[in-house]
Structures are given as C-alpha cells and as structure tokens.
Amino acid sequence: MLSLVLFALFVLTHACAVPQDAGASRWVPVSSPSFERELSIERGEGEPALVVRHDEVLTYVVEMDIGPFKGISVGQSGFRSRVVDSVEGEIGYFEAVFEGEQAGYVLDHRLRSRHHPSGDPKFESFDTQRGSENRKRQIRVQRGEDGFTEVYRFDGHCKGCKDQHHFVDPKWPCGKRKHCESKCKTAQHRVWQDPVSRSVPEHSLDYLSSIYLIRSLVRSDAESLGTPLLDKNRLWNLKLIKAEKKKIEVPLGEFACQRVLIEAQRPESESGGGKFRGLFGMKGSMKFWVHEKTGVLVQISGELPLGPLDLGVKIRLKEAQNAPEGLIALGR
C-alpha cells in the first residue's frame, strides 16, 4: 500500500505534466512458442488444481483517475507464467511486475512464485521493491515430519552497524561521517533480518498464485472456492466468489468478462494485528474482471484512499502472448 500511495501522491502533484504514454516499462515480453503445456498443482481431494501455463506473457497498462484527470498512464504491469523441467520433476513459476518512472520517482515492484509439487521447498514466494523505495520479502514452505513449515524472511534498515558503506558524508565541511538515518531508503543499507518460522496448511498460496487460481474457479461449475493464503508470516482464509458478468473494454479489445470477488478472513487460530494486503500492496474495494471462458485477468480496478481523495486505479490488458486459445475479443 505504501509504495502505491507514495507513487499516487507523486502523480497527483505532477498530473498536468504527465504525458499519456508515460511510464514505459523496461520489461519487454519476448516471443514465445505457441504450443500447449501446463503444470497442474494439486490442492487436495475435491479441489480444482492450480494450473501453470508455459510461456504465457500478459502485458497491462496502469492508469489512474485523479480528480478531473481520467486515465492518466502511470506505468506498465506484466504477468508471466512458465514451466521448467528439473531432476525432481516440473517446476512452475508465476511472475508479475509493476513499473513506473516519473521525474525522478522510480517504482519497480516485482513478485515471483515458485511451485515445486514433488520437491522441497514445495513453494516459495518473493516480493521485491526497488527504486525510490527498497525492500525484500521471501516466503518458503518446507516439508517436515510433522507437516509443512513456513520460513519468512524480510529485510530492514540496519541500526548503528559498523559497516562503513552505510556511513554518509557530512553536509558541512566541519562535520563527521556518520551512520545513515533510520528512514534511509537506500537498497544497499538494508540487511536481512532473522527468519520467522511457523506451521502452515499444506496447500497455502501467496496472493499472486491466488490470482491464477481464479482461472480454476471460472473453468469449474463451482460458484466459489477457498484457499489458505500467506501474507508475510500471517495466515488468511481467502475466498474467491463468482459475481456478475459484463463486457469490459481494454486496449487489447472488448471481452465478455465475469467479476470475481475476493474475501479474506483471519482464522480464529491467528493472533496479532495487521491488515490484509492485495496485489502490489493495494487495499480497499477492488474489482477483478476476468475473461468468462478462460479466466484470464482482463482488468483490475480499485481505489487508493489518500487523505480526502480516492484515487482510482486500473490495470488493463494490452497484450497477450501464448494465452489460452479461447481468449478472443468480441467482434473478432
């Protein structure tokens, strides 16, 4: 949330100077072979599998509505999935990126999920933000004799260490070099903190993987499905629910879509505070519109509250490479 709010605040103060094609992404999708290959990750008896499609690349434009300014382009987002062979079996990857750059403010937020159904660790999740703000988070779900364990790692600003690389030069000639301040945002000044471990359900997912799980819901006859979800070292019960249908127009064309509601509740066994964080840290009321036949994400829309203002955010499908064959725009 913090990263997107700060980015939105910057856009608000520079709205008149933002060109419509601003925020060109440095991630350029590569050409992918057009053939069908998928890895199905079982989620328990009677539950639809999580499917990883090989070499699929989806590219989105990111837009904000700020007061009278509508559809301001602030960057680009992309989602990629692939399947890799290993000695212990197939490994599935999901990757997502949100990139934007305007007048010195740089936002580069990347998510990656690694699923190894027959290996150990069974599942890993990486959350990395670089640019004007920097941080790293990692979740690892390992097999053990008594079940599955999550190992959560995160970085933070070091406090008063002796590393001279973390010292800064004085502003005045008579000053002395000193350790950087606690609010320093330099990536090189952040260090890994001690890992935190806890027991988790076997089929736990991260938020990025749950977005792809929507496809399994849309392709099934069920009206909803649930999954344990890990956010940092907290556990949530996530529920995906089919809702109304609507035609959604995006840069790639107009698609027949279905809205999917996402609800998160804390299990009774969970203690402590903290609010649920959505994709790229977004919060508030979000609308996920997916293609009604394939479940491919067509558009995410929501609001970012910032003081007295509610900033509208849309992530809209622009390109699709090696997507399911049924992803066809209306009128084509």
**Does the pLDDT of residue 178 top 90, yes or no?**
no
Whole-number pLDDT of residue 283: 64
Residue found by looking up tokens 């933002």 in the block: 18
CB 324 within 8 A of CB 25: no
CB 305 within 8 A of CB 323: no
What one-character-per-residue DSSP string does 8-58 give? HHHHHHTGGG--TT-S--S--PPP------EEEE--STTSPPEEEETTEEE
> Per-residue pLDDT tens for 224-277?
999 999 998 899 999 999 999 999 999 999 999 999 999 988 888 887 666 777
Q: What is the mean pLDDT of residues 310-331?
A: 89
Closest among 261, 317, 321, 260 to 292, alpha carbons compared: 260
Residues 271-289 as b or e (16 or more Cβ within 10 Å = b)? eeeeebbbbbbbbeeebbb
pTM, 2 dp: 0.82
Per cent of the chain over pLDDT 70 is: 81
Cα–Cα distance measured from residue 1 to residue 321, given in angstroms and rounded to the nearest whole number: 29
Cα–Cα distance measured from residue 81 to residue 63, given in angstroms and rounded to the nearest whole number: 23
3-class DSSP assignment, residue 243: strand
Cα–Cα distance measured from residue 119 to residue 87, given in angstroms and rounded to the nearest whole number: 10
Cα–Cα distance measured from residue 85 to residue 91, given in angstroms and rounded to the nearest whole number: 6
Cα–Cα distance measured from residue 151 to residue 11, given in angstroms and rounded to the nearest whole number: 37
> Per-residue pLDDT tens for 191-221?
888 999 999 999 999 999 999 999 999 999 9
Q: How many residues does the chain have?
A: 332
CB 305 within 8 A of CB 57: no
Cα–Cα distance measured from residue 75 to residue 107, given in angstroms and rounded to the nearest whole number: 9
> Per-residue pLDDT tens for 64-118?
877 777 888 888 999 999 999 998 899 999 999 988 766 566 778 899 999 999 8
Task: Kindly report whether the peptide bond that precedes residue 121 is cis, defined as omega within 30 degrees of 0.
Answer: yes
**Does the pLDDT of residue 170 top 80, yes or no?**
no
CB 292 within 8 A of CB 245: yes
CB 228 within 8 A of CB 234: no
**Does the pLDDT of residue 48 top 80, yes or no?**
yes
Which is more confident, 67 or 24? 67
CB 112 within 8 A of CB 139: no
Q: How many CB atoms lie within 10 A of CB 25?
A: 20
CA dihedral 289, 292, 294, 296 (to 10 degrees): -10
CB 109 within 8 A of CB 3: yes
Q: Which residues contact 320 (CB under 8 A, 6 or more apart)?
A: 56, 57, 58, 59, 252, 296, 327
Per cent of the chain over pLDDT 90 is: 51
Q: What is the mean pLDDT of residues 130-137?
A: 85
